[in-house]
Amino acid sequence: MITFHGLTKRYGDRIAVDGLTCEIASGRVTGVLGPNGAGKSTTMRMLLGLDAPSAGRALIDGRPYAALRHPLREVGALLDARAVHPGLTARAHLLALARGNGIAARRVEEVLETVGLARVARRRVGTFSLGMSQRLGIAGALLGDPRVLVLDEPVNGLDPDGVRWIRRLMRSLAGEGRAVLVSSHLMSEMQETADHLIVLGRGRLIADAPLGEIIARSTGNSVRVRTPRAAELVTALTGAGMQVRWTAPEELRVTGAPIERIGLLAHEAGVPLHELSPRTASLEHAYLELTASSVAYAAPTPDTVPAAEAWGRS
């Protein structure tokens, strides 16, 4: 388990992480989300002893990283896939990590096989693509067979097959009872992978809840209704305090009520229904709502006509 108690990091007048308190439980994949500058990477760096907190604590199974006797056996981490000497081969890099942490050399071969790099183990890392480097970084994180894994943007550079592979790997590791903490800007991938979410904004905790609960809170959840007597149904629904939006001449999008309530009101009004179906919000929609006021580097919304096209008309 990972525990943060009032974790704070200041850089001069700027607060990168502001009193973060939460737990990352074992047996599940916990996603950490947030806009650029939200404090995600800084939090991970403090957890791994790379940055010192200004206040508070970051603990792994009740101990700070510096107190772990064999760190690689207790926590595996991937923060920067390119942070490997380019002249080393993949096998040599992992062997160096293994020897420094008292890990048997045979484990190197096992993790190379696990991440799909066995056939290129003798290639120099400097020749690797970003996706291959990510796989090597994940191999390093798995080397000590740790109970805790911390992965910062692990899908960067991976092709679709690699993305599916890392998704399955993380879920498999969590299924073995490990704590898996992963950050990503890919909302669709996080929706497929995470069980629980930690959402940060401007260094502060915005949400700490199961994935399904965060999506359920979103205003993007709605009910699609199709009826030939839409105007009559609009009157009934708005009279009951529901929010109704026309999406087609005979189609409505209703928010603010469960599907059963909408069906009952239609029945009471004598309005026939051709469709009554729920529309669940995406994680992206829920995330953008949560972080709307926490975006540090917001650009103006582009005009509907692209700039290049507009210039061509001038």
Q: Please tell me whether residues 211 and 247 are part of one structural domain.
A: no
Q: Please tell me whether residues 211 and 239 are part of one structural domain.
A: no
Which of 198, 146, 195 has the alpha carbon at shortest distance from 38? Answer: 198
Q: Please tell me whether residues 72 and 211 are part of one structural domain.
A: yes
pTM of the shown model? 0.82
d(CA 274, CA 224): 10
pLDDT tens, residue by residue, 48-76:
999 999 999 999 999 999 999 889 999 99
Backbone angles phi, psi at 254, to 5 degrees: -115, 135
- Confidence band (pLDDT; 50, 70, 90) for 140? very high
Q: Is there a domain that residue 178 lies in?
A: yes
The whole-number pLDDT of residue 300 equals: 65
Q: Which two tokens stand for residue 76?
A: 């595996």
What's the CATH number where 12 sits? Answer: 3.40.50.300
Q: What is the mean pLDDT of residues 20-42?
A: 93
* Average pLDDT value over all residues in the chain: 90
Q: Is there a domain that residue 298 lies in?
A: no
Q: Is there a domain that residue 207 lies in?
A: yes
Bridge partner residues of 276 (DSSP): 225
Q: Please tell me whether residues 146 and 242 are part of one structural domain.
A: no
Q: What is the mean pLDDT of residues 38-46?
A: 94
Q: Is the pLDDT of residue 313 over 50?
A: no
Q: Is there a domain that residue 314 lies in?
A: no
The whole-number pLDDT of residue 236 equals: 93
Question: Starting at the edge strand that comes first in sequence, how are the strands of the sheet with 196-201 ordered?
Answer: 75-78, 148-152, 179-183, 28-33, 196-201, 204-210
What is the residue range of 264's domain?
Answer: 222-279
Provide the angle, in degrees to the nearest 10, between the axes of the packed helices 130-142 and 160-175.
10
With b for 16 or more beta-carbon neighbours within 10 A and e for fewer, the 204-223 pattern comes to bbbbbeebeebbeebebbbb
Find where tokens 């907190």 sit: 53
Q: Please tell me whether residues 177 and 132 are part of one structural domain.
A: yes
The whole-number pLDDT of residue 31 equals: 95
Into how many domains does the chain fold?
A: 2
Q: Please tell me whether residues 100 and 187 are part of one structural domain.
A: yes
Q: Is the pLDDT of residue 314 over 70?
A: no
User: Is the separation of the CB atoms in 117 and 90 below 8 Å?
Assistant: yes
Q: Which two tokens stand for residue 100?
A: 């420094």
The whole-number pLDDT of residue 310 equals: 43
What's the CATH number where 252 sits? Answer: 3.30.70.100
The whole-number pLDDT of residue 216 equals: 85
Q: Which two tokens stand for residue 163?
A: 């993305």
The whole-number pLDDT of residue 109 equals: 95
Q: Please tell me whether residues 61 and 182 are part of one structural domain.
A: yes
Q: Is there a domain that residue 307 lies in?
A: no
Q: Please tell me whether residues 209 and 258 are part of one structural domain.
A: no
Q: Is there a domain that residue 301 lies in?
A: no
Q: Please tell me whether residues 23 and 69 are part of one structural domain.
A: yes
Torsion angle of the four alpha carbons 13, 17, 19, 25, in this order, in degrees rounded to the nearest 10: -170
DSSP string computed for the chain: -EEEEEEEEEETTEEEEEEEEEEE-TTEEEEEE--TTSSHHHHHHHHTTSS--SEEEEEETTB-GGG-SSHHHHEEEES-TT-S-TTSBHHHHHHHHHHHTT--THHHHHHHHHTT-GGGTTSBGGG--HHHHHHHHHHHHHTT--SEEEEESTTTT--HHHHHHHHHHHHHHHHTT-EEEEE-S-HHHHHHH-SEEEEEETTEEEEEEEHHHHHHT-TT-EEEEE-TTHHHHHHHHHHTT-EEEEEETTEEEEESS-HHHHHHHHHHTT---SEEEEEPPPHHHHHHHHHTT--SSPPPPPPSS-HHHHHHH-
The whole-number pLDDT of residue 309 equals: 46
Neighbours of 156 (CB within 10 A): 14
Q: Is there a domain that residue 255 lies in?
A: yes
Q: Amino acid identity, residue 266?
A: A
Q: Which two tokens stand for residue 289?
A: 């709502």
Q: Is the pLDDT of residue 159 over 90?
A: no
